[in-house]
Structure 1
Amino acid sequence: MVGFGPEDNHFVSELTYNYGIGGYRLGNDFLGITIQSSEAVSNAKKQGWALTEDEDGVFVTEDPGGYKFFLVNKEQPKTDPVQKVTLAVSDLQRSIDYWSNLLGMKVYEKSDAKKHALLGFADDQCKLELQDIGCPVDHGTAYGRIAFSCPREQLPVIETQMKMKNQKILTPLVSLDTPGKATVEVVILADPDGHEICLVGDAAFRDLSRVDPNGSKLLDDAIAADKSSEWFEKHRKQKPSA
């Protein structure tokens, strides 16, 4: 889990490495993450990272997996620098109805001309942007999911509401044990375009997601210990694509 601060009040990305997989096919479902940070822009330039500037003065780049990042060249705010996450939808109004009327998000902005809407649960939190691409959403093999924490008592209410509205539930309300840590309750939904949405009980999640001061070192050590690429090369095999 990587981000600019604790998950209590920051958006974080979950990076998953699957052993033995050499590549994924990107779909058109995930359109990017917007971050306000002049430091990020400066770092990208110093390291020779490919940057292009759009008509709004925002720098666009891609991570090694091909996922887009939009960097706003302004001082990093004291709150979360991650401004928004953009998902593609095939019918903007239908998606707004789902995320707003069913999941309770507030609509902060809507533009019929640009076919996009900005939603969120709170003024000081990362926003969700829905962008109508005018065609079916293809999740490829590189798709992920977006997750939110909420009071535990809301989970069965949300699940019941989704059932009543005949909406897709991928994983009914279930308790997941984490050895040595908290037991969290989750329900996983899918919106009209198949974007996976994981809702997690807040109290247990806060216990589970506490910042590990050794997290960066543990990650570096795990990467250094991974010899899978050497194994594939030694055996003259190529990692398959997902």
Structure 2
Amino acid sequence: MASLSAALNLSTLRPSHPPSPPVLKYPSVHNSSYSPSRRLTLFHLGTALPQAQLLDVKASQLLKAEENTSKAAAALEEGAMEWVKNDNRRMLHVVYCVGDLDKTIKFYTECLGMKLLRKRDIPEERFSNAFLGYGPEDSHFGVELTYNYGVDKYDIGNGFGHFGIAVEDVARTVDLVKVKGGKVIREPAPVADGTTIMATIQDRDGYKFELLERGPTPEPLCQVMLRVGDIERSINFYEKAFGMKLLSKWDNPKYKYTNAIMGYGPEDRNVVLKLTYNNGVTEYNKGNGYVQIALGTDDVYRSADAIKLFGGKITREPGPLPGINTKITTCLDPDGWKSVWPLTLLAVI
């Protein structure tokens, strides 16, 4: 009611206008070809067709771009794998920490037959190193022991498995280990296939060594065993990023695990990486004792690129190592196991 009265009041304020002229009426003309709705439809069709064509063109362009991207990625992977395959690579040494350097050197040389290759003390950084093995570093796999001042004990964790050593007489080596105060975890006995005698011992820091009875071999320190959370993922990574070959693989349904042997040459003549997957276990405690494996390469920059491309993580970008005449890069595999890559020709680090 209020709005109506307001409208009425407003009408009194408007100026008056002359009366509107009479509306002229024309006879209606019917044109069957004209329809506003039809005209609107035709207009929409005229605009919709170009839009549909435009969408088709854009979709085609996107598909082509995606196809080109996929081809480029495939070419990049193929090129990286080819370079990795032709790179001059080998496993150099394994690095881990010990609580008493001199006692460990004594045990390894007297019981396991290793030789002390070199030793160095870095007092300004409060650590010492010792390199041991069965031959020169430029042609044999070895161990690098690290002693950090004041630290006499380490957590080995449950991710690291063991080192493998080929010996000609397992029983004799085990007897020597007992005499020298080592711990025997498994007495000498045939393995499942019945053709190989094996025993397991443990050093004073808790690192296990699997002793395998074999004839003379150029690489007695023959194996590093690590546990992984996805065996297929690890095989794929080490094949593509590290250029290793899958030498063998087998399942043990009874004990619910799978092993894969990876390496750069035949297992009886080269050191290999043994990867173990325990069914259903995806993560492990790595502890703080085991550190890394060192591998040689001709180009640390291209090695780092390949590692990143195939799922690894670079923890030290490739470049010169201060104070030492070499270049290195370091990385983590998909399970977090670390490796360091120095130039093959300058691999004394």
8 Å CA contact 1:171–1:189 kept in 2: the answer is: yes
Report the secondary structure of 1:14's partner residue.
Answer: strand
RMSD after superposition: 2.0
Unaligned runs of 5+ in 2: 1-130, 192-196
**1:67 pairs with 195, 207, 212, which one?**
207
Matched, 1:196 2:338: yes
Separation (CA, whole Å) in 2 of partners of 1:99 and 1:186: 19
Matched, 1:28 2:175: no
Separation (CA, whole Å) in 2 of partners of 1:125 and 1:201: 20
8 Å CA contact 2:154–2:288 kept in 1: the answer is: yes
Matched with 2:321 is 176
Larger radius of gyration: 2
How far does residue 40 in structure 1 lie from its aligned partner after superposition?
6.5
Unaligned runs of 5+ in 1: 210-242
Matched, 1:121 2:264: yes
For each residue in 1:14-33, what CA deviation from the matched residue of structure 2 results, as whole angstroms up to 9, or x when unmatched?
A: 11111111311121121011
Q: Which has the higher contact order (CA 8 A, sep 6+)?
A: 1
For each residue in 1:124-167, what CA deviation from the matched residue of structure 2 results, as whole angstroms up to 9, or x when unmatched?
A: 3201110013421211122310111121x3x2112123334453
Matched with 1:240 is none
Matched with 1:149 is 296
Separation (CA, whole Å) in 2 of partners of 1:202 and 1:44: 35
8 Å CA contact 2:237–2:310 kept in 1: the answer is: no
Separation (CA, whole Å) in 2 of partners of 1:69 and 1:3: 14
Separation (CA, whole Å) in 2 of partners of 1:96 and 1:185: 27
**2:183 pairs with 26, 41, 50, which one?**
50
Greater helix share, structure number? 2
Structure 1 stretches of 4+ moved >4 Å: none
TM-score (norm 1): 0.76
Which amino acid is 1:137 matched to? Y
8 Å CA contact 2:237–2:311 kept in 1: the answer is: no
How far does residue 112 in structure 1 lie from its aligned partner after superposition?
3.6
8 Å CA contact 1:24–1:141 kept in 2: the answer is: yes
Report the more deviating stretch, 64-73 or 52-61. Answer: 52-61
**1:103 pairs with 229, 242, 249, which one?**
242
Which amino acid is 1:141 matched to? N
Matched with 1:236 is none
8 Å CA contact 1:9–1:80 kept in 2: the answer is: no
For each residue in 1:195-214, what CA deviation from the matched residue of structure 2 results, as whole angstroms up to 9, or x when unmatched?
A: 00111101112xx37xxxxx
TM-score (norm 2): 0.54
Report the more deviating stretch, 38-47 or 119-128. Answer: 38-47
8 Å CA contact 2:240–2:310 kept in 1: the answer is: no
8 Å CA contact 2:167–2:220 kept in 1: the answer is: yes
| Count of residue correspondences | 201
Q: 1:185 to 1:40 in 2, by over 3 A?
A: farther
Separation (CA, whole Å) in 2 of partners of 1:110 and 1:46: 33
Percent of matched pairs sharing the same residue: 27
